[in-house]
Structure 1
């Protein structure tokens, strides 16, 4: 099956389905490789990876498929320049950069033909990134797991707003709240050319997170995530003892240093790698409530595409 949009044409993929770059969950070969093989865009998350492990994963993905993939690059990470040098040397098909300005990487990657996608969370940054020359934008709304925009404006509103100010001059990828084909249809109707799926791909055998983390995703409802850490790099995560402590401190008006101590003591690695789902950061989006089973990543891609077709066929036609 192929669903052609400006994003699929830009990236050379069959389906407008992107697997979000998720630290730990897609800091591995298996998940991005499976998604790219299935016709979407698999994304290797470079954020927490050592340079040698990152190089090995890139080589393994290239050996496993001739289809495009991307590397998600948080520009603030320690050793960012060394990582950028590696990605340039490996001539990766696409880079999805976040948490920094595009001028830091744009020229060098466009010169070698790498597609440059930039993550934004508002109209102003979207226009700046577009004018800087990026090839596409990931627009992240408030439903997203990990780091949603501090404003928490919903994806439904934010994608429309960015679509209006960019006026169709750049491909958009909607991110936050998507778990199935009906979500993909909604994203395309808003003016995006693809949707970014994060939490849904956590519930796959290929996701590099603990079984406890995956079970927490399955157990949580749409109202069971919390946003904590305002002013500290706010995250959206499934509620647990860590989020309860943070919400209590925030409710008491605790000073930022007191909140920072608790916020920094908990890590994503604790939940994803160590399996500590009570004290670690269980980052996930509101779409966790739409995920009810673990299934192979390729089947997730196929199901999203099939659901999209059915949903499109079920839309009422105009009369008169």
Structure 2
């Protein structure tokens, strides 16, 4: 297996600086995370929508299924987050990726059991606070990301550089707009030690979302997503009847409660599990425009590695010519 050694691969004990994003429903079981970890990256279980029994079974499958490192993503705002943390402390995942809350809530418990703790941030000031609290590394999410991009919509290229300057020496994972090995090379050039791939793995054979959802990702262009839900929890999703309705309400200055009702009327669950591509939240990043096929996760990893090598070779050729 190839190796690309960076600050993040050293921190996490993985061979490749390729992190599969924790995506609700898509990686809320063991299939996709196991495939990515076995291929040399970091597979991530999305605990956000999971019931305790389902999560317990998935954690056991991950532990039994690979000796390679893997992670659990936990949004700290989810109902029952404390119960989930109790379970995770008992099961001792190699890596925890936490978001939507402060790291002091969980950090000591997990570091005391040897779990590496990464925290998701979307601004330099949040990065400084997380590092001051003692996190082991950061996932820096830019505007291009699917799901929940930062409300300020600062691009990944700008945000990673700003965070790199704010917290020099801290291992960073760049997230948002990265779908191939060229994006990985760009992330490393910006100062990150790895890239997080969400939308690319959304369209994988092992992703647990509906086949129509995967096809919607493949069919989307680079301008095929919209951000909606301002003041309600901003999301980026593939354009459909749901996003059109939200944009209409937002642009007309409609009452917050009317917008809230419309926003809650479409769900990610309906899109992911039942293929509701019209009224559901078909969450995906701008990198959907770079995804042309549905492939096994291991093949996606292999392709990223080859593209990364091609990108580095091109840069070296430019350097040699000057």
TM range (shorter): over 0.9
Alignment of 1:103-252 (within 5 A): 103-168=104-169, 170-252=170-252
How far, CA to CA, are the matches of 2:198 and 2:253 in structure 1? 32
Shift of residue 185, structure 1, vs aligned partner:
0.1
How far, CA to CA, are the matches of 1:272 and 1:139 in structure 2? 25
How far, CA to CA, are the matches of 2:59 and 2:190 in structure 1? 33
Give the paired residue count: 319
Moved over 6 A (4+): none
**Cα deviations by residue, 1:201-240 (Å, 9 ceiling, x for unpaired):** 0111100100110010000000010000000000000000
SS of the counterpart of 1:78? Answer: coil
1:3 corresponds to which residue?
Answer: 4
How far, CA to CA, are the matches of 1:215 and 1:257 in structure 2? 33
Shift of residue 258, structure 1, vs aligned partner:
0.5
How far, CA to CA, are the matches of 1:125 and 1:102 in structure 2? 10
Shift of residue 106, structure 1, vs aligned partner:
0.1
How far, CA to CA, are the matches of 2:55 and 2:221 in structure 1? 34
Shift of residue 311, structure 1, vs aligned partner:
0.9
1:94 corresponds to which residue?
Answer: 95
Shift of residue 121, structure 1, vs aligned partner:
0.2
SS of the counterpart of 2:274? Answer: coil
Q: Structure 2 stretches of 5 or more lacking a match?
A: none
**Cα deviations by residue, 1:32-61 (Å, 9 ceiling, x for unpaired):** 000000000000000000001001011111
Shift of residue 167, structure 1, vs aligned partner:
1.5
1:284 corresponds to which residue?
Answer: 284
If the length of structure 1 is used for normalisation, what is the TM-score?
Answer: 0.99
Q: Structure 1 stretches of 5 or more lacking a match?
A: none
Shift of residue 310, structure 1, vs aligned partner:
1.2
The structure-2 alpha-carbon separation of the partners of 1:121 and 1:60, relative to structure 1 and needing over 3 Å to count, comes to same
How far, CA to CA, are the matches of 1:305 and 1:85 in structure 2? 37
Shift of residue 306, structure 1, vs aligned partner:
1.1
How far, CA to CA, are the matches of 1:175 and 1:194 in structure 2? 9
Matched, 1:42 2:47: no
1:74 corresponds to which residue?
Answer: 75
Shift of residue 145, structure 1, vs aligned partner:
0.2
CA RMSD, aligned part only?
A: 0.7
If the length of structure 2 is used for normalisation, what is the TM-score?
Answer: 0.98
How far, CA to CA, are the matches of 1:114 and 1:167 in structure 2? 22
2:54 corresponds to which residue?
Answer: 53
Shift of residue 318, structure 1, vs aligned partner:
5.5
